[in-house]
Amino acid sequence: MKKYLILLFVTLLASNTFAQIQVGNTILTEREVIGGLDVPWEIKWGPDDHIWVTERSGIVSRVNVETGEQYILLNLAPQLYDQYESGLLGMEIHPDFNNGAPYVFMAYTYYSAGGASEKIVYYEYDFDNDALVNETIMVDGIDGNSTHIGCRLLAIDNTTLLVTTGDAQDWMASQDETALTGKTLRIDIDANGGNFGQPKADNPSPYSYVWSIGHRNAQGLALGPNGIIYSSEHGPSNDDELNILEANGNFGWPNVQGFCDNISVDYSYAEDLSSNFTESDYCQEYNVIEPLWSSGTSTIAPSDIIWYDHPSIPEFQNTLLMTVLKDKKLVRFEFNSSGDDIIGETDFFNNEWGRLRDICVSPDGKIYLATNGFNWPSQGPNEIIELYNADYVAESSYNCSTDGCEEIMDASGEYTTLEDCEAACDVSSIEENKKESINFYPNPIAKDGVLYFQNYENPFHLNISNLQGQIVYSNKVQERSLLIQGLLESGIYFLRSNNGNNTKLIVK
Ligand SMILES: [Ca+2]
Ligand SMILES: [Ca+2]
Ligand SMILES: [Ca+2]
């Protein structure tokens, strides 16, 4: 009897925990990281090696990928307008989160005098309490609705945030450059500049967030090789699109649907067209940029996209992966070497987990999918699925550190062989640079003392962290001195300037 129980247990373990799914020649292991979510809308691989999740009903959390434990950081439910497709949507984590800019950006819809509006905000991460605090609004008063409200967020570098907005069912507004709906917005997130949360100074108009126009409801953003920015977009009952975004680009909606080909145009939206002024006429007149790909005469409902570049799943390496809601699948797009032309389109995971809303990838190449059930808008199961190649053995690589060459257990290091690393790694010059990074006196310092910076010339960004690694001070230093009184209690701290190394400070 005991033997059978063990056998049963092993069988259950194998079927529940280690389901497998084939992609070309690679067998992927499938595992549920967490279930029972309420429409997971955004998943991002976080700077703490957890997955950060938004649920449309208002919860922001971190999920431990190994254990499935969920840590709730914020509950926006009381302030949301969340009908049908709306509520808490896209999220992005500041690329300098661990380096003095612990900010998390979000888009959500809320009740306003006009019904529903949408705003783009950021919260600060409170390291002591593991919570998101202090909402700051960046863009407010974007027209809202229960459907067609975007919003995908993507930081393409540490100074630039892109946001896709939907047309909020006012489709003609997508062509109106003064409206914030039906656009890609571009926001300054330079934590060391004076323009945080404002339109980027080099936007088409420096006073406007608008970066590209003529979008219907884009919910996918990905940064590809060579800095190409891809975006996926829902069509009406035809012409979902995949686009390459460009500054000042007009992407056509509502008068142009898919390609400039006069085929299957839905004229109930294309109000500016007539028998004398067709879709292709409009394209010429208004310099409309055609998509790379269209779904043609029907739709599949594309959500997020990601550029996958890890060697652990060769079938996906250097391809664009698109999660699909209505048709419940993942689409792989293969590109030419310059990334501006699609040379292959293949479906995977048909109806395997229902509607696929979002995708993220860990640094070691594991893929995570946010599922949104089998029926629109929100029936379960709503879970996060992990997919990885258990047979993949990472090639080690090397980085040069102050202790010499250190081995990295994947291919992300700067050098592929120890010999290459040692030839290039000059530890003495690194030590020299370290000495130059930040010099101050006195050290130790009294609790009410004044810290002086040697060779102070220009303002610089200073982070002070405690022994637990928590940042207790993060600010731009504009003067040669800094009053410690009221700033730091007795203890040991590490000071770090924007260019690098920790220097120890003792406060008595
Ligand atoms: Ca995502
Ligand atoms: Ca278009
Ligand atoms: Ca067309």
State the CB neighbour count (10 A cutoff) for residue 133: 11
Q: Name the strand (E) or helix (H) holding 428.
A: helix 427-437
User: Does 374 fall in a domain?
Assistant: yes
CA 16–ligand 1 middle distance (angstroms): 26
CA 252–ligand 2 middle distance (angstroms): 5
**Given this model, what pLDDT does residue 7 score?**
45
Contact present, 65 and 45 (Cβ < 8 Å): no
**Given this model, what pLDDT does residue 475 score?**
84
Structure tokens at 445: 């310092």
* Domain match, 172 and 257 both: yes
Contact present, 452 and 479 (Cβ < 8 Å): no
Q: Which of 388, 420, 446 is the last residue of a domain?
A: 388
Give me the number of domains the chain comprises. Answer: 2
CATH number at residue 375: 2.120.10.30
**Given this model, what pLDDT does residue 432 score?**
60
Among 124, 19, 39, residue whose Cα is nearest residue 349: 19
- Ligand nearest the Cα of residue 262 is 3
Per the document, the length of the chain is 508
* Domain match, 6 and 94 both: yes
* Domain match, 383 and 236 both: yes
- Ligand nearest the Cα of residue 290 is 2
pTM: 0.79
* Domain match, 239 and 151 both: yes
* Domain match, 353 and 264 both: yes
Distance CA 51, CA 42 (A): 10
- Residues 6+ away with beta carbon under 8 Å from 420: 398
* Domain match, 482 and 349 both: no
Contact present, 365 and 387 (Cβ < 8 Å): no
- Ligand nearest the Cα of residue 253 is 2
pLDDT 10s digits, 189-238: 999 999 999 999 999 999 999 999 999 999 999 999 989 999 999 999 99
- Ligand nearest the Cα of residue 368 is 1
Give Rg (Cα) of the chain. Answer: 25
User: Does 89 fall in a domain?
Assistant: yes
Structure tokens at 299: 């739709």
Structure tokens at 487: 């700033």
In one-letter notation, the amino acid at residue 472 is V
Structure tokens at 73: 């950081």
Give the SS3 label for residue 1: coil
List beta partners, residue 187.
161, 199
User: Does 393 fall in a domain?
Assistant: no
pLDDT in tens, the chain (508 residues): 444 444 444 444 444 457 999 999 999 999 999 999 999 999 999 999 999 999 999 999 999 999 999 999 999 999 999 999 999 999 999 999 999 999 999 999 999 987 899 999 999 999 999 999 999 999 999 999 999 999 999 999 999 999 999 999 999 999 999 999 999 999 999 999 999 999 999 999 999 999 999 999 999 999 999 899 999 999 999 999 999 999 999 999 999 999 999 999 999 999 999 999 999 999 999 999 999 999 999 999 999 999 999 999 999 999 999 999 999 999 999 999 999 999 999 999 999 999 999 999 999 999 999 999 998 766 788 999 999 999 998 878 898 887 888 888 777 788 988 999 999 888 877 666 555 567 888 888 888 888 888 777 777 888 888 877 778 888 888 888 888 888 888 888 888 876 566 788 888 8
Q: In what order do the strands lie in the sheet with 440-441?
A: 440-441, 450-453, 481-483
Among 403, 470, 430, 463, residue whose Cα is nearest residue 129: 470
CA 322–ligand 3 middle distance (angstroms): 22
* Domain match, 146 and 257 both: yes
CA 54–ligand 1 middle distance (angstroms): 10
**Given this model, what pLDDT does residue 123 score?**
98
* Domain match, 369 and 503 both: no
Structure tokens at 188: 């300054």
Contact present, 203 and 212 (Cβ < 8 Å): no
CA 266–ligand 3 middle distance (angstroms): 9
- Ligand nearest the Cα of residue 370 is 1
**Given this model, what pLDDT does residue 13 score?**
45
- Ligand nearest the Cα of residue 241 is 2
Residues 112, 113, 117, 123, Cα dihedral to 10°: -40
User: Does 220 fall in a domain?
Assistant: yes
CATH number at residue 492: 2.60.40.3080
* Domain match, 126 and 253 both: yes
pLDDT 10s digits, 412-443: 788 988 999 999 888 877 666 555 567 888 88
- Ligand nearest the Cα of residue 54 is 1
CA 239–ligand 3 middle distance (angstroms): 7
Degrees to nearest 5, angle at CA 226 with 220 and 232 = 15
In terms of residue numbers, what domain contains 459?
437-507
CA 283–ligand 3 middle distance (angstroms): 10
User: Does 497 fall in a domain?
Assistant: yes
* Domain match, 297 and 355 both: yes
* Domain match, 6 and 109 both: yes
CA 145–ligand 2 middle distance (angstroms): 21
Q: Which of 324, 354, 388 is the last residue of a domain?
A: 388
Distance CA 186, CA 138 (A): 11
List beta partners, residue 293.
242
User: Does 476 fall in a domain?
Assistant: yes
Distance CA 71, CA 93 (A): 16
